[in-house]
Amino acid sequence: RSRRRWWKVVTAVQELEAAAATPVGRLRQVVDAMAVEMHAGLASEGGSKLKMLLTFVDNLPDGENGIYYALHVGGTNFRILKIQLGGQRSILGRDVERKPIPQSLMTSTSEEFFDFIALALKEFIERMGNNLQLSQVRGKDLGFTFSFPVKQTSVSSGTLIKWTKGFAIEDMVEKDVVECLQKALSRRGLDMNVAALVNDSVGTLAVGHFLDKDTVAAVVIGTGTNACYLERADAVIKCQGLLSTSGGMVINMEWGNFWSSHLPRTSYDTDLDVESQNPNDQGFEKMISGMYLGDIVRRVIHRLSIESDIFGPLSYKLSTRFVLSTPLMAAMHEDDSPDLREVAKILEETLDIRDVPLKARKIMVKVCDVVTRRAARLVAAGIVGILKKIGRDGTGGISSGRIKGYKSGKMRRTVVAVEGGLYTSYTVFREYLNEAVAEILGEEIAPYVILKTMEDGSGIGAAMLAASNSARS
Ligand code: ADP
């Protein structure tokens, strides 16, 4: 009997592998779908699941000087940064402070929320300046990274479309985010100017571009995921006559909501979506980002546990959503001890599953591998999709057949800035991603495309955008 059950496990894992498979041919279909959807999202409002939001950032930082501050609000922690730019692509100094946002404030009023932030900024400035007088920061420019869906009206204004990630400050919805912050700063006696309001991926692109001029796109893969890139203003068809001094504009793709029938979806993904707070929404994000990967693995193990006894008696923990976080999943995946001790420990401590034989622990690692490999390779396809849209994938782009990425027949060096815990802290994920980008592009083009890690990029980038959009510059 036990042999038959083992076969059930093997079969279920094989089915998972087949449904989640990402051979390069399928990845290329995803590349094409991404490029086509980008085009559709730029053609008309609501033309695609990709919102392709205008950011009004038309000049990326490039050799700014001076001291700038930034605030980053986007999750349970918020960050305050001070950076000193030394022109010529150098960051002379940086100070970063992380502060948890009290749960109660996440559902309070906009006044209370922004008062808290303004006070924290004031205390930070006083500390950083060694008791420097607040008057000395008079007029200083502030960058504001706000990672919620915002409809921007200029580079330094925009209204909140909706809250996500557990925030629910109702009086903020449809209000101008910068105005709220600016008022709170005045209430605290801080004479500072919010010069840039940016999405986190846009901040990452800004710092990437400051450090390396060939940076054309940025991707964030943390709790959630998003991407942005530099587009030609005349390609933004839905907004004719767009004012841009550079002829370009950064587009915030909101790519977490990308969808295509070519995505290798499994029954576990369908279940996760149906049971989520936002069914039919953020389909791409649910297959690739840190909030979800651990939970996909939990769902697979749950099914294996129902169908066999290789994980012992069915643990009730396996039916608890999000009990297995992505960092724990990564720790199991990267366990290199011969008897998979770490796997055993996490199974016991997190899932209440004890004394599992080695072959079951190996199954656990295998499932983590399948889920992470698919996620990393889909991100790679998304990145190449962006490159294809702007003619930097070596094929000449999708639109006119004009070969934009080439200079006298040669592909140009192309850099993509990447930020987020999944890429920076999960080594296997990063390796799968890098490898898949090279595989999709092929060996001739791959050497021209470089992925660069940006730590704290989004916040630093916001400060840089404050610098380049400073009213006094
Ligand atoms: P944010 O919450 O703003 O996206 P990060 O970019 O730091 O912040 O991403 C944090 C996310 O990255 C976590 O929610 C987690 O899913 C993932 N993560 C962090 N560390 C690891 C790790 N060692 N292995 C796998 N995933 C990780």
Residues 227 and 269 in one domain: yes
> Which residue CA neighbors atom 13 of ligand 1 most closely?
223
In this structure, is residue 265 part of a structural domain? yes
For 104-127, the DSSP string reads: GGGGS-HHHHHHHHHHHHHHHHHH
Q: Exactly one of 79, 299, 303, 374 is catalytic; which is it?
A: 79
Residues 219 and 167 in one domain: no
Tens place of pLDDT per residue across the chain (473 aa): 566 688 999 999 999 999 999 999 999 999 999 999 999 999 999 999 999 999 999 888 887 788 889 999 986 678 999 988 887 778 888 888 988 888 888 889 999 999 999 999 999 988 887 555 555 565 688 999 998 889 899 999 999 987 876 678 999 999 999 999 999 999 999 999 999 999 999 999 999 998 999 999 999 999 889 999 999 999 999 988 777 778 899 999 999 999 999 999 999 999 999 998 788 989 999 999 999 999 999 999 999 999 999 999 999 999 999 999 999 999 999 999 999 999 999 999 999 999 999 999 999 999 999 999 999 999 999 999 999 999 999 986 544 444 444 443 568 999 999 999 999 999 999 999 999 999 999 999 999 999 999 987 888 899 999 988 885 44
Residues 326 and 346 in one domain: yes
Residues 274 and 367 in one domain: yes
In this structure, is residue 472 part of a structural domain? no
pLDDT for res 280: 92
In this structure, is residue 47 part of a structural domain? yes
Decide: helix, strand or coil at residue 71: strand
In this structure, is residue 288 part of a structural domain? yes
Active-site residue 309, yes or no?
no
Check if 74 has its Cβ closer than 6 Å to any atom of ligand 1.
Answer: yes
Q: Write down which residue in 175, 198, 221 finishes a domain.
A: 198
Check if 311 has its Cβ closer than 6 Å to any atom of ligand 1.
Answer: no
The CATH number for 227's domain is 3.40.367.20
The CATH number for 148's domain is 3.30.420.40
Residues 406 and 435 in one domain: yes
Residues 348 and 402 in one domain: yes
Q: Write down which residue in 198, 229, 248 finishes a domain.
A: 198
pLDDT for res 298: 98
Residues 92 and 137 in one domain: yes
Active-site residue 28, yes or no?
no
Domain coverage including residue 94? 56-198
Residues 274 and 296 in one domain: yes
Check if 382 has its Cβ closer than 6 Å to any atom of ligand 1.
Answer: no
Q: How far is CA 226 from CA 131, 218, 377, 383, 458, in A?
A: 39, 8, 15, 11, 12
Residue 457: exposed, middle, or buried by beta-carbon count in 10 A (0-12, 13-18, 19+)? Answer: buried
In this structure, is residue 464 part of a structural domain? no
Check if 327 has its Cβ closer than 6 Å to any atom of ligand 1.
Answer: yes
Q: Which of 418, 422, 454 to mutate to test the pocket of ligand 1 (most atoms within 8 A of CB)?
A: 422
Q: Write down which residue in 198, 220, 240 finishes a domain.
A: 198
Residues 420 and 312 in one domain: yes
Residues 364 and 410 in one domain: yes
Query: In this prediction, does ipTM exceed 0.95?
Result: yes
> Which residue CA neighbors atom 24 of ligand 1 most closely?
327
Q: Exactly one of 32, 200, 269, 273 is catalytic; which is it?
A: 200
In this structure, is residue 241 part of a structural domain? yes
In this structure, is residue 396 part of a structural domain? yes
φ/ψ of 391, rounded to 5, equals 70, 30
Give distance in angstroms: CA of 420 to centre of ligand 1.
Answer: 6
User: How many residues in the chain?
Assistant: 473
What domain count does the chain have?
2
Residues 406 and 345 in one domain: yes
Residues 194 and 215 in one domain: no
Active-site residue 79, yes or no?
yes
Cα distance between residue 75 and residue 379, in whole Å: 22
In this structure, is residue 413 part of a structural domain? yes
User: Which of 388, 403, 398, 405 is closest to 441 using CA atoms?
Assistant: 388
For 284-301, the DSSP string reads: HHHHHSTTTHHHHHHHHH
Q: Contacts by 360-363 with C-beta closer than 8 Å and gap 24+?
A: 360/310, 360/311, 363/9, 363/13, 363/304, 363/310
